[in-house]
């Protein structure tokens, strides 16, 4: 029988379809690297994501239909570089709806109870207007 070592790590990969809402510059997003993506609380009801200088808050939702995800693979049998083929990777009917949020300092009455360096995440309103912070 094989004894499990507590120091062993099991790495799992899970693909997630993310829909970004709010004012987002597509040129900026296409230049972002994987290292600039941070997700907190992915398994919670309200995950938070940072992509470069953008902050998003969101919720898990069911999709209307199914998303099919493919990956690029090179076809080494044919001559010439850049000959790409698409290979099925997975499918899902779930997505993560992420709404752009803005960080702003807490107001003075809240600062008395907490550290003055804390900030709160405020989702961006659907019409592009900056919403008021909840009280």
CATH number, domain containing residue 38:
2.60.40.4370
pLDDT at 23: 76
Name which of 18-32, 66-80, 113-127 the model is least confident about: 113-127
Question: pLDDT: is 88 or 134 the higher one?
Answer: 88
Q: Is position 77 within any domain? A: yes
> Is 11 a member of any domain?
no
Would residue 106 count as lying in a domain?
yes
Q: Is residue 129 part of a domain?
A: no
Strand segments, DSSP code E, in the chain are 18-21, 37-40, 48-51, 54-74, 84-105, 119-123
For 75-131, how does the pLDDT look when each residue is reduced to its tens digit (9 = 90+)?
Answer: 655 555 567 789 999 999 999 999 999 878 887 665 555 554 555 666 665 544 444
| pLDDT for the residue numbered 37 | 87
The tally of domains found in the chain comes to: 1
Residue 44 burial (10 A CB sphere; 0-12, 13-18, 19+): exposed
The residue range of the domain holding 58 is: 18-123
Q: What is the DSSP letter of 131?
A: P
Q: Is 101 contained in some domain?
A: yes
The answer to whether residue 110 sits within a structural domain is: yes
């Amino acid at each position: 029988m094989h004894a499990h070592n507590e120091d062993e790590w099991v790495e799992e990969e899970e693909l997630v379809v993310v829909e970004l809402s709010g004012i987002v510059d597509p040129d900026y997003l296409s230049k972002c690297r994987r290292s600039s993506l941070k997700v907190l609380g992915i398994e919670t009801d309200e995950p938070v994501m940072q992509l470069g200088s953008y902050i998003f808050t969101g919720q898990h939702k069911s999709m209307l239909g199914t998303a099919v995800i493919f990956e690029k693979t090179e076809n080494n049998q044919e001559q010439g570089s850049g000959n790409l083929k698409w290979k099925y990777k997975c499918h899902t009917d779930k997505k993560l709806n992420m709404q752009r949020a803005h960080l702003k300092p807490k107001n003075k009455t809240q600062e008395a109870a907490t550290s003055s360096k804390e900030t709160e995440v405020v989702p961006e309103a659907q019409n592009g207007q900056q919403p008021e912070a909840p009280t």
